[in-house]
Amino acid sequence: MAEAAPIVAPAGSEAAALLAELHAEAFPPAHRWSGDAIGLLIALPGHFALLASVGGEPVGFVLGRVAAEEAEVLTLAVRPAGRRAGAGRALMGALMAEAARRGAATVFLEVAEGNAAARALYAALGAVEAGRRRRYYPDGSDALVLRLPLGDRLESPAPTRTPTRPPIPGC
């Protein structure tokens, strides 16, 4: 039997403890964020969190921010048991849609150079390398800075997305 598709919905500061739990499952100790830090970020202007669930069970989240015409993925976390089932793609699709809705034309993010699965996902979404942050992570590994243009090709695989404007005839 096929696994249900992830459902993505907004998450507010009240979900910070749950998001921190998901983050702790997804990252090694040196990279984990606390509930307090996540809650404070969500509460800042321009910041937002999106939570993915499968069958009513939380499997991951993404935290982003938009300023002017640029968005940034601050973190994306998916429980190890929920990986390779579309949650990361659904979260990124929903983040891209929300960023575009808020006026962003481009999304930036960092990814560990050695994280092949995440790099493949971002490449499949159209992200290209824009730079490198040497020794960015606590273990001394580099981060690749990726740029993801949103443009008119934006389509979200997240079932909760609704169009923000009608299509333009002839385009």
134 Ramachandran zone, left/alpha/beta (phi>0; psi -120 to 50): beta
Whose tokens are 């993915």? That residue is: 52
In 27-149, alpha helices (H):
35-43, 87-101, 116-124
> Of 21, 69, 122, 129, which residue is the catalytic one?
122
Among residues 64, 23, 48, 21, the alpha carbon closest in space to that of 150 is found at: 64
> Of 3, 14, 98, 110, which residue is the catalytic one?
110
DSSP code of 140? S
d(CA 73, CA 1): 33
Q: Is 122 noted as a catalytic residue in this protein?
A: yes
Phi, psi of 68 (to 5 degrees): 55, -125
Q: Which amino acids are annotated catalytic?
A: 110, 122
